[in-house]
Chains A and B, each alone.
Chain A
Amino acid sequence: MLGYVVRRLLGAIPTLFIIITLAFFLMRIAPGGPFDQERALEAKVLENLNRVFHLDRPVWEQYLYYLGNLARGDLGPSFIYRDFSVQQLLANGLPVSIQLGGMALLVALLAGSVLGTIAALRQNSWIDYSVTAVATFGITVPNFVVAPLLSLIFGVWLSMLPAGGWGGGSPQNMVLPVITLALPQVAIVARLIRGSMIEALRSDHVRTARAYGLPARMIVGVHALRAACLPAVSYLGPAAAALLTGSVVVETIFGLPGIGRYFVQGALNRDYTLVMGTVIIIAVFVVIFNLIVDLLYAALDPRVRYD
Chain B
Amino acid sequence: MEKMAETIFDIRGIRVTFDTPDGAVEAVRGVDMHVKAGETVAVVGESGSGKSQIMMAAMGLLASNGRAEGSVTYRGQELVGLPREKLNRIRGAKITMIFQEPMTSLDPLYTIERQISEPLRVHGGLSAAAARKRALELLKLVHIPDPERRLKSYPHELSGGQRQRVMIAMALANDPDLLIADEPTTALDVTIQAEILGLLAELQRKLGMAILFITHDLTIVEAFADRVYVMQHGKVVEEGATEQIFNRPAQDYTKMLLAAEPEGHKPPVPKSAPILLDAHKVSVTFSARGGLFSAGFALKAVQDVTLSLRAGQTVGIVGESGSGKSTLGRALLQLLPSEGRVVYQGVPIQGFSRAAMRPYRRNLQMVFQDPYGSLSPRMTVGEIITEGLLVHEPGLSAGQRVEQAMEALKEVGLDPAMRNRFPHEFSGGQRQRIAIARAVVLKPTVIVLDEPTSALDRSVQKQIITLLRRIQQSHNLSFIFISHDLAVVKALADYTIVMKSGQVVEEGLTDEVFERPRSDYTRDLMEAAFDLKSVLNRQAEARV
Contact = CB atoms under 8 A, between A and B. Distances in A.
B495 interface: no
Interface residues of B, number: 35
A133 interface: no
Nearest to B171: A212
A214 B97 contact: no
Interface string B91-125: 11100110101001111111000000011001100
Given A211-B61, A302-B154, A226 B109 contact: yes
A227 interface: yes
B205 interface: no
Contacts of A202: 63
Given A213-B119, A303-B156, A227 B109 contact: yes
Contact of A208 (B99, B109, B122): B99
B84 interface: yes
A216 interface: yes
Contact of B92 (A203, A211, A223): A211
B89 A212 contact: no
B106 A215 contact: no
A215 B122 CA distance: 8
Contacts of B89: 213
A198 to B, nearest CB: 10
A207 interface: yes
Contacts of B293: 3, 7
A213 B109 contact: no
Interface string B321-335: 000000000000000
A47 interface: no
A223 B154 CA distance: 14
B92 A307 contact: no
Interface in A238-255: none
Contacts of A204: 99, 101, 104-105
A212 B91 contact: yes
Instruction: Name the residue among B60, B106, B119 with the largest chain A CB count within 10 angstroms.
Output: B119
Contact of B118 (A212, A216, A226): A212
Interface string B45-83: 000000000000001110110000000000000000000
Interface string B145-184: 0000000001010000000000100100000000000000
B230 to A, nearest CB: 25
A303 to B, nearest CB: 5
Nearest to A204: B104
B61 A207 contact: yes
Nearest to A124: B64
B212 to A, nearest CB: 13
Interface in B287-316: 291, 293-294
A213 B106 contact: no
A205 interface: yes
B144 interface: no
Q: At the interface, is chain A mostly helix, strand, loop or mixed?
A: helix
B90 interface: yes
A213 B104 contact: no
B215 to A, nearest CB: 18
Instruction: Name the residue among B90, B93, B118, B170 with the largest chain A CB count within 10 angstroms.
Output: B118
B509 interface: no
Instruction: Name the residue among A3, A208, A226 with the largest chain B CB count within 10 angstroms.
Output: A208
Contacts of A205: 104-108
A134 to B, nearest CB: 24
Contacts of B108: 205, 227, 301-303
A208 B87 CA distance: 14
Interface residues of A, number: 27
Interface in B256-298: 291, 293-294
Nearest to A123: B64
Nearest to A205: B107
Instruction: Name the residue among A123, A209, A212, A215 with the largest chain B CB count within 10 angstroms.
Output: A212
B101 A211 contact: no
B88 interface: yes
Interface string B121-147: 011000000000000000000000000
Given A216-B84, A307-B291, A211 B96 contact: yes
A218 interface: yes
Contacts of A307: 291, 294
A13 interface: no
Given A7-B293, A302-B154, A307-B294, A209 B107 contact: yes
B119 A212 contact: yes
A274 B186 CA distance: 65
Nearest to B293: A7
Nearest to B104: A204
A302 B109 contact: yes
Contacts of A218: 118, 122
A214 B105 contact: no
A211 B91 contact: yes
A213 B90 contact: yes
A211 B108 CA distance: 17
Contacts of B156: 302-303
B109 A211 contact: no
Given A204-B105, A226-B109, A302-B154, A211 B59 contact: yes
Instruction: Name the residue among B60, B64, B87, B109 with the largest chain A CB count within 10 angstroms.
Output: B109
Contacts of B122: 212-215, 218
B154 A303 contact: yes
A300 B109 contact: yes
A118 B99 CA distance: 28
Given A208-B99, A307-B294, A214 B104 contact: no
B110 to A, nearest CB: 8
Given A7-B293, A302-B154, A212 B104 contact: no
A210 interface: yes
A213 B87 CA distance: 7
B105 A207 contact: yes
Nearest to B120: A212
A172 to B, nearest CB: 41
Given A212-B92, A301-B109, A303-B154, A203 B119 contact: no
Given A204-B101, A204-B104, A307-B294, A212 B170 contact: yes
A214 B119 contact: yes
Contacts of A123: 64
Nearest to B60: A210
A223 B97 CA distance: 18
Contacts of B104: 203-205
Contacts of B60: 210
Contacts of A203: 104
Contacts of B109: 223, 226-227, 300-302
Interface string A1-14: 00100010000000
Instruction: Name the residue among A207, A222, A227 with the largest chain B CB count within 10 angstroms.
Output: A207
Nearest to A208: B105
Interface in A57-76: none
20 contacts: A7-B293, A204-B99, A205-B105, A205-B106, A207-B105, A209-B107, A209-B118, A210-B91, A212-B96, A212-B119, A213-B87, A213-B91, A213-B92, A213-B119, A216-B84, A223-B109, A300-B109, A301-B108, A302-B109, A302-B156
Given A210-B59, A307-B294, 11 more contacts: A3-B293, A207-B99, A208-B107, A209-B107, A210-B61, A212-B96, A213-B92, A213-B123, A214-B92, A215-B88, A223-B110
Q: Which 5 A-B pairs have the closest CB atoms?
A: A213-B92, A212-B92, A213-B88, A204-B104, A205-B107
